[in-house]
Structure 1
Amino acid sequence: MARHDEGVITVGRSRAGTVAANTAGIIFGLFMLFPVYWVLNTAFKPEAEVKSFSPTFLPQSPTLDNFRSALGEELFIPAMINGLIITAMAVAAALVVGFLAALAIARFQFYGRKAIILIVLAVQLVPFLALLIPLFLMLQRAQLTDSLPGVALVYLVLLLPYTVWTLRGFISGIPRELDEAAMIDGCTRAQVFWKIILPLTGPGLVATSVYGFIQAWNEFIIINTLNSPENQNLMAWLLYNQTERGTAWGPLMAGAIITSIPVVIFFLLIQRNIATGLTAGAVKG
């Protein structure tokens, strides 16, 4: 009888703990989602409601004028195009260079291999803002300041440590026996790379590209420092969305929503491969 009572008490405690954890999770989720909701709420409000002293949690007179105003800004479309170009260049270059570096570290034995791994990790520990001025001086000497390739090159440096370290885990998870079997069957090193390693690392490339895309697309400080308004992205455009009377909150929130759309679209296009990619490199390496 005592054991039965102890079991009931244990089950009751576990249920109470589950309810408490779920409640805390829901509260935390609502807390994190509220800013997103308020951005959506403000984006559809007319100017009078936005500036009202009595906040409303739903637009009384929903309007799309804020989106028209944001899209009608002179630098909005160029900023979006600049962001897409810079992000595409940085992510593509990071995947190519990072994949080859990760392949060398994971598959080949050479002098200084462990030191390179430690250096890759150490670079992640350095605040990137501390490198901003030296990078600016280097780009200035190379005449790449105030240019899209210059910013893409800096983003490449920013993304490479994470890319190399992550892809190294994916490649290390591919059994070396597959390489040896393919070479016994007559494949060259290049054919082993194209037919075995690259296809099996595909999910890892997808998962890594998601991180790179988000980092490059949402970056603000570097491009705002290096480039003029004509060569900046949407994040910098959000800063300059000011008027002589102050901040235009409605168009600003509408612009923030439009800015997040490319990330959402990119995520939806590759979502099937994300879960596989995030777990494939976590088993070995």
Structure 2
Amino acid sequence: MPTVGRSRSGSFAANTVGVVFSIVMIFPVYWVLNTAFKPANEVLSYTPSFWPEHPTLDNFHSAFHAPYFLQDLLNGVVMTAIAVAAALVVGFLAALAIARFRFHGRRAIILIVLGVQLVPFLSLLIPLFLMLQKAQLTNSLIGVAITYTVLLLPYTVWTLRGFISGIPRELDEAAMIDGCTRPQVFWRIILPLTGPGLVATSVYGFIQAWNEFIIVNTLNSPEKQNLMAWLLQNQTTRGTAWGPLMAGAIITSIPVVIFFLLIQRNIATGLTAGAVKG
């Protein structure tokens, strides 16, 4: 009985800590929502209120009609889509080569992929700007998209390598015995079974590219930036417009939520195990 009592006390303490931690983490999100629906006089009130007394959508209207908002929204979608698609294609082929083939320098490539992620990106920002400037890719969506692709590749290669390595080689051999060529093994065996890895990697890549701020703010002018940079530019001569800024932050987070909801059913594991058991 004392053991049961200690177990319950420990569970209660752990649950309490979890609840408190969740409240602390959720409160900033709630405050953003609260501010987004407040009129200006309530936002700037000396006495803060935890819910809007006179809810309004004027802040969202102001955000949508702010300079460059819709343009930067479209820019973010284009740059993120190009970067994620390119990183998945190139990263998947590189991961396939590392996981399935033996060649000289294979271990060195794996170490380089890991080492690249250890380098602080800010130390590369100035050389990157000079390089893109010589290639006439500054102040362009393509230049930023290429940069995002390079940043996403190490994680993409490393993650997909793990998924591909988890696919038994016996499946490849069995398919080739049945008459499949290597390209057919790739399309019919490896690619479908790597689906969960591609989905999980795309989620990470989408979030990283969509939320990136430093690169696009450094390389591009306001009309060719994304919404993260737009949030910084949402200033007035009289100070920060907090209502429209919070409304813009909510709108900025919506594409990530929609993207996750569209593919969350495909984020699963165990497809490889099912293939072996079948």
TM-score (normalizing by structure 1): 0.94
- Equivalence for 2:58: 65
Tell me what 1:17 maps to.
Answer: 10
User: Aligned partner of 2:252: which letter?
Assistant: T
264, 269, 274: which is aligned to 2:257?
264
- Alignment partners' CA distance in 2, 1:189 and 1:244: 63
Q: Secondary structure, in 3 states, of the residue corresponding to 2:269?
A: helix
User: Take 1:77 and 1:46, find their aligned partners in 2: how far apart are those partners?
Assistant: 23
- 1:184 positional shift: 1.1
Equivalent in 24, 37, 44 of residue 37 of structure 2: 44
Does the CA-based 8 Å contact 1:204-1:280 persist in structure 2? no
- For 1:98, the aligned partner's letter is G
CA distance, structure 2, for counterparts of residue 185 and residue 47 of structure 1:
70
Q: Distance in 2 between matches of 1:179 and 1:143?
A: 45
* AA matched with 2:40: E
Distance 1:40 1:211 in 2: 24
Question: Which residue matches 1:33?
Answer: 26
Shift in alpha-carbon separation, 1:166–1:218, aligned structure 2, 3 A = same
Query: Does the 8 Å CA contact 2:167/2:272 hold for their aligned counterparts?
Result: no
Listed one character per residue, the Cα deviations across residues 166-188 of structure 1 (whole Å, up to 9, x for unaligned) are 00000000000111111111111
Q: Which residue of 2 aligns with 1:232?
A: 225
State the identity %: 79
C-alpha distance in 2 between matches for 1:96 and 1:119: 19
Which of 85, 90, 101 pairs up with 2:78? 85
Please say if residues 36 and 60 of structure 2, whose CA atoms lie closer than 8 Å, have aligned partners that are also in contact.
yes
Equivalent of 1:156 in 134, 146, 149: 149
1:243 corresponding residue in structure 2: 236
Q: How many aligned positions are there?
A: 273
Alignment of 1:163-202 (within 5 A): 163-202=156-195
Question: Following TM superposition, by how much is the alpha carbon of 1:74 offset from its aligned partner in structure 2, in angstroms?
Answer: 2.3
| AA of the residue aligned to 2:108 | A
- Give, in angstroms, the shift of residue 280 of structure 1: 7.3
Distance 1:275 1:54, change over 3 A: farther
* Superimposed CA distance per residue, residues 21-66 of structure 1 (whole angstroms, 9 cap, x where no aligned partner): 0000000000000000000000000000000000000000000000
Pair 1:204-2:202 in alignment: no
What CA distance in whole angstroms lies between the structure 2 residues aligned with 1:139 and 1:34? 41
Q: Deviations over 1:43-96 (max 9, x none)?
A: 000000000000000000000000000001120000000000000000000000
Stretches of structure 1 lacking an aligned partner (at least 5 in a row) = 1-7
The aligned residue for residue 5 of structure 1 is none
Unaligned regions of 5+ residues in structure 2, if any? 274-278
1:213 aligns with 2:170: no
Instruction: Work out whether residues 193 and 272 of structure 2, in 8 Å CA contact, stay in contact via their aligned partners in 1.
Output: no
Give me the TM-score of the superposition, normalised by structure 2: 0.96
Q: Identify the residue that residue 3 of structure 1 maps to in structure 2.
A: none
Cα deviation 1:152-179 (Å, max 9, x = unaligned): 0110111000000000000000000111
Query: Per-residue deviation at 1:129?
Result: 1.0
Q: Is the 8 A contact 1:170 1:280 kept in 2?
A: no
Distance 1:31 1:280, change over 3 A: farther
Name the structure 2 match of 1:134: 127
The one-letter code of the counterpart of 2:77 is L
Q: 1:273 and 1:12 mapped to 2: Cα distance? A: 42
Shift of 1:192: 0.6
Q: Tell me the SS of whatever aligns to 1:93.
A: helix
Q: Residue 117 of structure 2: SS of its match in structure 1? A: helix
Distance 1:74 1:126 in 2: 36
Q: In structure 2, what is the equivalent of residue 110 of structure 1?
A: 103
Cα deviation code 1:195-225 (max 9, x no counterpart): 1100110111000000000000000011000
